[in-house]
Amino acid sequence: MYKIACFLLVALFGVVLCVPSQYDFNQKWVTGNLSYPLPSNPLVGGLDPYGYKIYVGRVNFTATVVPVNVVAETGIASGNTNNVPFQARDYHLLTTKDDLDYQWIRSYDGHLEDYAVTVGTSSWNEMVYICRAKSDGGIIIGSLFLTTKRCLLTAFGYEYIHAVEKYEVLVAVPKNETSY
């Protein structure tokens, strides 16, 4: 009886943890790394402390699709899940579309803005949005999980995650709609 109960418990956790993350396909994402040329229309999301442009990217890391800071000159994408900072060399870059206006809108406390851009879902099937905030002399891209109500970002050169209450959210407003 004990073996059956343990097996059922393990099977239940296996089903819960195997929920696959999914990419969001509403935007145009282009595969990138240091070997690929930079697309002609990548979306700039900020500046790092050294003055390099940071492009908006995404990575599937530990079954969670999250936004990343892509520095094209170094080929490194850095980001974080809700509890782990990481770096990657393969990523997807967000490129602009002709029928959308991309804007950064001030937000706070996990408020979901209209037309907010998502990168995909977490391993818990929660939508993950793109946010940014000022940190360590640069404007850094982070992950917005609505359950945390904070913009989570990793400053360059640090191994911990900042939780920022006031931040900006990336929105993609259709050009035929009125702007913010």
Question: 141 forms bridges with which residues in the sheet?
Answer: 132
110-145: per-residue pLDDT in tens? 888 999 999 999 888 999 999 999 987 789 999 999
Residue 179's pLDDT is what?
A: 55
Best mean pLDDT range from 48-52, 146-150, 167-171: 167-171
Residue 4's pLDDT is what?
A: 53
Residue 174's pLDDT is what?
A: 93
Residue 25's pLDDT is what?
A: 75
**39 and 134 Cβ atoms separated by less than 8 Å:** no
Mean pLDDT value of segment 72-98: 92
Per-residue confidence at 104, pLDDT binned at 50, 70, 90? very high
Question: 67 forms bridges with which residues in the sheet?
Answer: 58
**Rounded to an integer, what distance in angstroms lies between the CA atom of residue 88 and that of residue 109?**
28
Residue 136's pLDDT is what?
A: 76
**149 and 109 Cβ atoms separated by less than 8 Å:** yes
Measuring CA to CA, which residue among 47, 103, 100 is closest to residue 70? 47
Residue 6's pLDDT is what?
A: 42
Q: Where are the alpha helices (DSSP H) in the chain?
A: 2-17
- The 8-class DSSP code of residue 116 comes to B
Q: Tell me how far apart the terminal alpha carbons of the chain are, to the nearest angstrom.
A: 62
pTM of this structure: 0.83
**Residue with the larger pLDDT of the pair 120 and 24:** 120
What torsion, rounded to 10 degrees, do the Cα atoms 97, 44, 68, 167 define?
Answer: -100
149-176: per-residue pLDDT in tens? 999 998 766 677 889 999 999 999 998 8
